């Protein structure tokens, strides 16, 4: 994570604020809020400010994924060039869908909220879309998951547990 933050600072540091770097990291698939909060702690951004930038950055792509990814994927699968890539992404996402399919709202919230490799808002939104879970059910579940991830990653990134104990 430190090397990623260093790269962002070297490439964008003079052009945008530390907070904007954290915001952008939080929008990137795989890194998302988890990476954003870790980066914010490395950049010495106060936790409350960091949480706002990370949560907003992580939320922004979700409605677009929920509403648009299925039609986009269907269109891309009609091309020879993109079909294999889309089918691979769908297969990878659906390979993680059992918990979400079984428990829907709570499965999706926990999938997004528990910071394990391959989980998060991007993948959760993709799976919800592929499973046909309606926006009005999926979006609140993903929001709850982001809230759970925020609590967990705040403790991990800023060491709040240690501060509360002492």
Examine the domain organization and report whether 124 and 47 are in the same domain.
no
Segment 120-163, tens digit of pLDDT: 999 999 999 999 999 999 999 999 999 999 999 999 888 864 45
Q: Is residue 109 part of a domain?
A: yes
Segment 3-20, tens digit of pLDDT: 766 666 677 666 778 899
Cα Rg of the chain (Å, integer): 17
Range of 77's domain? Answer: 60-155
> What sign has the CA pseudo-torsion 34, 106, 117, 58?
negative
Number of structural domains (the chain) is 2
Examine the domain organization and report whether 64 and 44 are in the same domain.
no
The pTM assigned to this predicted structure is 0.86
Examine the domain organization and report whether 48 and 70 are in the same domain.
no
Q: Is residue 9 part of a domain?
A: yes
Within 10 A of 160 (CB to CB), how many other CB atoms are there?
13
Cα separation, 158 vs 166, in Å, equals 14
Examine the domain organization and report whether 78 and 52 are in the same domain.
no
Examine the domain organization and report whether 81 and 116 are in the same domain.
yes
């Amino acid at each position: 994570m430190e090397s990623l933050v260093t790269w962002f600072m070297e490439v964008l540091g003079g052009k945008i604020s530390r907070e904007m770097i954290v915001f952008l990291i939080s929008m990137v698939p795989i890194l998302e809020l988890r990476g954003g909060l870790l980066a914010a702690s490395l950049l010495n951004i106060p936790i409350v400010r960091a949480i706002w930038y990370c949560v907003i950055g992580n939320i922004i792509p979700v409605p677009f994924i929920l509403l648009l990814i299925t039609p986009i994927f269907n269109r891309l699968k009609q091309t020879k060039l993109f079909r294999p890539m889309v089918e691979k992404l769908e297969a990878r996402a659906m390979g993680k869908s059992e918990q979400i399919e079984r428990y829907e709202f709570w499965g999706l919230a926990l999938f997004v909220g528990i910071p394990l490799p391959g989980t998060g808002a991007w993948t959760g939104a993709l799976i919800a879309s592929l499973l046909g879970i309606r926006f009005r059910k999926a979006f609140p579940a993903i929001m709850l998951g982001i809230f759970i991830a925020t609590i967990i990653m705040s403790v991990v990134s800023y060491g709040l547990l240690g501060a509360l104990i002492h």
